[in-house]
Structure 1
Amino acid sequence: MKKRITLIVFSVLIIVALYVLYCFNYIPHKKYTNADFNIEAYKSNIDKDNDGIDDQTDILNNANNYVKTNPKYKSKYYNTGYPDDEYGVCTDVVAFALKDAGYDLMVLVNEDIKNNKALYDIDAVDKNIDFRRVKNLKVYFDNNAISLTTDINEIEEWQGGDIVVFKKHIGIISDKRNRKGICFVIHHANPYQIYYEEDILEHRDDIIGHYR
């Protein structure tokens, strides 16, 4: 009887551990595509960098290309603005995704701060770091991007290449979805992250912005 109870307890602990690992994306989640939900992929009518790829697709591709470099999570200041080594943080996923599509956030955010300083909670303007802060990007996208729903259950309104902002985090929406049709996010959250493309939206209650 005692052995049976021990086995049951052990089994329950294993199940709980696997569930926790799954929830935190240490166990990969099955991925679905737009086609699985009869959702048409959004294509932008703008090609900012004239590379023959629309901006929406360009941003998505660039985000994927950036995380393929396997950046290590570390917050550092760079005189170049953009990280020029193997390190990065969440905002760098977005910055490089947009930069390689023709949108230099270091320049654009700095210009927006100069033109709308009252909207930004900044004591001293620093072009090299301001565009790498989530709170500043939130203001910038509020001013310069199309604001979309933050209801993740409106699955057709979420498309690969969109930008999602959380209270203290940011990422690019993936073109992959979970079994409910809710999009994965391409992001860089911490040093312990195994996968850069994760099924996290359902487990967040701090989404404060969704942009295109």
Structure 2
Amino acid sequence: MKLILPLLLICFSFGCKKSEKITENISESKPTTQLIENPIDFYEKLSNAAISIINPDVVYTPSYVSIKYPNGDVPAKTGVCNDVVIRAYRKLGIDLQKKVHEDMKTNFSKYPKTWGLKTTDKNIDHRRVPNLEVFFARKGKTLSITKNTSDYKTGDIVTWLLAGDAIPHVGIVTHIKSNNGNPMIVHNVGSGQVLEDCLLSWKIVGHYKYSN
């Protein structure tokens, strides 16, 4: 138990860590399509960007890392769930590191105090799911949370709570449908940056659109 608690605290700081309990309900459905050939809006472009960074070799690495600012990133073959979102948006010219930092700097009181911080930290603030939830709610559009998969559209951002509501997680809804018609998600729950049918695998707690 002494080892489990610190692990959960590390995971909570960033997103989520793979375990049998977390991944047991994920469908192995295979995608039937790939990139949208001629995306018509930002959200289709975001879906394409998310799919383009799929890489199961990315090692889930929840350690604190000092990175440059702006446009900083951890090593390409490492990352957590937040890094999927950060990397996809960056392909469209949006630097969430800078965006989140600037908003937190002027609106620090509106962001979670979970980590006991008294000021911003450019290295980590944008890599924490609760901070992204606040940012997307403030700067984007908050959408309804339902169990109807058709309510989740291409380019939406979804957040969940895993492992008994202990671990936050985030992913991007793509245009690709699973064999049973569910929109597939690009995320990293511990098996790399992958595409999976997992929208309803966990408790959904956030649903957003953000296009700058």
TM-score strictly above 0.5: yes
Kept in 2, the 8 Å contact 1:73–1:88? The answer is yes
* 1:59 lines up with 2:31 in the alignment: no
Identity of paired residues, percent? 31
In structure 2, the residue matched to 1:133 is 128
Residue type of the alignment partner of 1:162:
D
TM-score, length of structure 1 as denominator length? 0.70
Q: TM-score, with normalisation over the residues of structure 2?
A: 0.70
* 1:169 to 1:85, Cα distance in 2 relative to 1, 3 A: same
Q: Which residue matches 2:169?
A: 169
Alpha-carbon distance between aligned partners in 1 of 2:26 and 2:180, rounded to the nearest angstrom: 17
Unpaired runs of 5+ residues, structure 1, are 1-20, 34-41, 45-54
Pairing 1:84-103 to 2, within 5 Å after superposition = 84-103=75-94
Give the Cα separation in 1 of the matches to 2:76 and 2:181: 36
Distance in 2 (alpha carbons) for counterparts of 1:66 and 1:153: 27
Question: Residue 201 of structure 2 aligns with which residue?
Answer: 203
C-alpha distance after superposition, 1:90-120 (max 9, x if no partner):
0000001111112110000001111211111
Deviation at 1:85, TM superposition (A): 3.7
Greater gyration radius: 1
Matched, 1:150 2:145: yes
Query: Could you say which residue in structure 1 is the equivalent of 2:154?
Result: 160
Report how many aligned residue pairs link the two structures: 169
Q: Residues 181 and 106 (structure 1 numbering): CA distance in 2 closer, same or farther, change over 3 Å? A: same
Distance 1:120 1:22, change over 3 A: closer
Which shows bigger deviation, 55-64 or 135-144? Answer: 55-64
Q: CA deviation at 1:61?
A: 1.5
Contact preservation (8 Å) 1:22, 1:29: no
CA distance in 2, matches of 1:78, 1:173: 29
SS in structure 2 at match of 1:171: strand
- How far did residue 30 of structure 1 move? 4.5
Alpha carbons of structure 1 residues 195 and 128: separation in structure 2 relative to 1, 3 Å: closer
Contact kept, 8 Å, 1:152 with 1:158, in 2: the verdict is no
- The residue that corresponds to 1:105 in the other structure is 96
Indicate the SS of the match to 2:100.
helix
Q: Deviations over 1:44-101 (max 9, x none)?
A: 3xxxxxxxxxx21221121112223731111131323411341011000000111111
The answer to whether the Cα contact below 8 Å between 2:51 and 2:186 also exists between their aligned partners in 1 is yes
Distance 1:102 1:189, change over 3 A: same
Determine which structure has the larger helix proportion and give its number: 1
Any conservation in 1 of the 2:149–2:199 contact (CA below 8 Å)? Answer: no
Structure 2 CA distance for partners of 1:112 and 1:57, relative to 1, 3 Å: same
Q: Which moved more, 1:160-169 or 1:101-110?
A: 160-169
Q: Per-residue deviation at 1:203?
A: 2.0
RMSD (CA atoms): 2.5
| Aligned residue number for residue 71 of structure 1 | 58
Flag the structure with more relative contact order, 1 or 2, with Cα contacts below 8 A and sequence separation at least 6.
2
Q: Is the 8 A contact 1:110 1:131 kept in 2?
A: yes
